[in-house]
Amino acid sequence: MGREIKLDGGEISILKKIGLSGSPLFGKLLLDRVEEMETGEFLDTLCGLIDQGHVLSNKVNVRTMGDVEKAFFRVNPAHSKDLQEAVNPSRKRERERAERLRRR
């Protein structure tokens, strides 16, 4: 059974832009996709996701926008199912409902 992950709006936005499939995304493309966030907020949120282990990067330190442009990012495959449920909670409810119906 997975663990419960709580995400805020900025984290959900970045995860959706990276993609939950686990395929890598070049940092420059990520910056193009995330236009509505302030630079500081974006960097704080991305660093938080990396520190929590939800997002993996080929660079150890991602502290400036230049670092982001030169790095690759992907969602940690070990967390992808839990993150999908956190991003889209209705999917989890549907799965739980289907499990209850199968037990009957």
Tokens at residue 46, please?
């991305």
Q: What is the DSSP string of 33-64?
A: H--SS-HHHHHHHHHHHHHHTSEEESSS---S
Pick the CATH number of 9-103 from 1.10.3470, 1.10.110, 3.30.160, 1.10.10: 1.10.10
Q: What is the pLDDT along the chain (104 residues), one digit of tens a residue?
A: 457 788 999 999 999 999 998 899 999 999 999 988 899 999 999 999 999 999 999 998 899 999 999 999 999 999 988 898 888 877 767 777 777 777 77
| Predicted local confidence at residue 1, as pLDDT | 47
Domain coordinates of the chain in residue numbers? 9-103
| Predicted local confidence at residue 4, as pLDDT | 79
Task: Identify the three-state secondary structure at position 4.
Answer: coil
Dihedrals φ, ψ of 31, to 5°?
Answer: -65, -35
Cβ(48)–Cβ(55) below 8 Å: no
